[in-house]
Structure 1
Amino acid sequence: MQTLTESEAYLRSELEQIEKWESEQKDLWFWEKLGRLPFELLDRITPQFVHEKVGAALDEIGSFIQTGGQYLISEKAILAQVEKESLGKEGVVGFTLEDVRRAPLEAMDRSADALAESRANIAAAQGATTGFGGLFTLAVDIPVLLGLSLKVLQEIALCYGYDPQEKQEREFIVRCLQFASSDIVGKKAVLEELDRATSDAGGERSAVSQLQGWREVVAGYRDNFGWKKLFQLVPVAGMIFGAYINRGTLKDVAEAGKMLYKKRRIVERLNAGAGA
């Protein structure tokens, strides 16, 4: 594996782009403000079996944090993807996670972008399928979309050299999910917490471990796109809305994962350079 040649100036330039993106995330989109209004009504008219599905999704998040649950992915395939982006060919060296950590940042970005696009297409197909049946298939759509979100975040973690098999990383993944589904106040809180974690030596583990509110993460995930699901309640027409909404949701989740993991990798490289 070749030694990295990324300059400090390049890393700081990339970090600036991420910080600009973070600043843009702190503005609440008009439709997100409007979205708070109809969800209460939706909640009241939603049948009990839909609420039960959401409750099951809450339990699955707990299982994911503890054990990885049913959302474990193929590490080998992701490592091969980063190897291909790094060397222009696959299977020559046989990348390990340690090799990924030393890979060029651009190769990590390309791998993450390719995964995000692929998973967004899967989510769109899923949304179209469940949108066809209206309210009754909505009960299936929420936990499936949640599962797809957790999978793509694990894959992006691997793209930047972090191991989702570690509980600490799964907690960070849930924070990424929380960020993607939060309003302006929630996004700001998550960013401030993660900034404290990376600035304090050895403080990251304690910061991301404070997940007493993980149930609120999933409740917020449901609430913040609940208004959009109103359009998906109409049978057949819901196919169009379902595909569009799910694709957009997955792309938002993947973007949050990419930016937050990329920032960690950049900060670690800058710190390593300063200590060299």
Structure 2
Amino acid sequence: MTTYEDSIRTRLAEWERGLLKQPGLLERTSKSIQTKINEKIPAKIHAALTTAVKGIFSTVLFTLDFVPKSLPQTGLTLQQRDEKAVEVVNTYKKIAAAEGAGTGAGGFALGLVDFPALIAIKMKCLFELAHLYGYSTRDYRERLFLLHVFQLAFSGRDHKVRVYRIVRNWDEVALQYPEGEHALQTVDWEKLQQEYRDAIDFRKMLQLVPGIGAIVGAWANYGLLEELGQTAINCFRLRLLHGG
């Protein structure tokens, strides 16, 4: 084991403790406030978001549209992969911020358009990271893994813990899925959509507020890609260091 890999193992252990610890007062209070805000959002907005989320994920998982043209990277050390991954995430953070600023300035209609567009940006980032760390997204099970990474980044505490245990033991879990596209039928779409909407609603709903939409849109999207990128990098580190 290299010194770099040893330091990454230490950082992963700290990350795991943060994921599994009980929520503090601030987190519980924030969740309570967010729940009250969500209850005041019209049902038609939630319905529109649900439709948008399900539509884009179906495209991501059931087609090859998001699969990078480049082959999975081989022959790189973990440190080299991590350095390249940071560059990839930084690029997508800028793309997401620009997209959020543009739609945020357009009011309610374009604000709703931002939801599926942002998911597409996030998933393109994940697909590219997968190939960078040596995993082919032409494999249905790798796409399922990315879906779990996505949920780990954007879910409530309880669901996040369950998903983390799946991610940590992915090589064993993946063997339980049926082969081919039938594996994708195991996804609990309603749970995924609800967790995602609840995780980002507060920040993204501020984007619909007139006068501040562009600023909030850029800020929210940049931060969301930062969260996703760090989560994905740690998940791929786990797999490589465990020999998966």
**TM-score, normalised via structure 1 length:** 0.76
Decide whether the 8 Å contact of 1:197 with 1:204 is kept in 2. yes
- Structure 1 residues 236 and 37: CA distance shift in structure 2, 3 A: same
Residue deviations 1:210-231 (CA, integer Å, cap 9, x gap): 8431342133212221112232
- Structure 1 residues 103 and 32: CA distance shift in structure 2, 3 A: farther
Runs of 4+ in 1 over 6 A off after TM superposition: none
Question: Which of 210, 235, 254 is 2:229 aligned to?
Answer: 254
How far apart are residue 21 of structure 1 and its match? 1.0
Matched, 1:204 2:203: no
Decide whether the 8 Å contact of 1:135 with 1:233 is kept in 2. yes
- Structure 1 residues 26 and 135: CA distance shift in structure 2, 3 A: farther
Tell me the distance in 1 between the aligned counterparts of 2:122 and 2:32: 23
Q: Kindly name which structure, 1 or 2, has the bigger radius of gyration based on alpha carbons.
A: 1
Matched, 1:55 2:51: yes
1:1-276 aligned within 5 A: 7=1, 10-27=4-21, 28=23, 30=27, 31-44=30-43, 46=45, 51-52=47-48, 54-68=50-64, 70-75=65-70, 97=72, 100-198=73-171, 200=172, 203-206=173-176, 209=183, 211-268=186-243
In structure 1, what residue type is equivalent to 2:67? Answer: L
Structure 1 gap segments, 5+ residues each: 1-6, 76-95, 270-276
Tell me the distance in 2 between the aligned counterparts of 1:115 and 1:171: 21
- Structure 1 residues 34 and 55: CA distance shift in structure 2, 3 A: same
How far apart are residue 207 of structure 1 and its match? 6.0
Seq. identity, %: 24
In structure 1, what residue type is equivalent to 2:175? Answer: R
Decide whether the 8 Å contact of 2:38 with 2:201 is kept in 1. yes
Decide whether the 8 Å contact of 1:131 with 1:236 is kept in 2. no
Decide whether the 8 Å contact of 1:197 with 1:207 is kept in 2. no
How far apart are residue 18 of structure 1 and its match? 1.2
Query: RMSD of aligned C-alpha atoms?
Result: 2.4
- Structure 1 residues 124 and 169: CA distance shift in structure 2, 3 A: same
Residue deviations 1:96-123 (CA, integer Å, cap 9, x gap): 63xx343111110011100111101111
Residue deviations 1:57-91 (CA, integer Å, cap 9, x gap): 303312322223x333342xxxxxxxxxxxxxxxx
Structure 2 gap segments, 5+ residues each: none
**TM-score, normalised via structure 2 length:** 0.85
How far apart are residue 262 of structure 1 and its match? 1.4
Tell me the distance in 2 between the aligned counterparts of 1:168 and 1:212: 12
- Structure 1 residues 130 and 217: CA distance shift in structure 2, 3 A: same
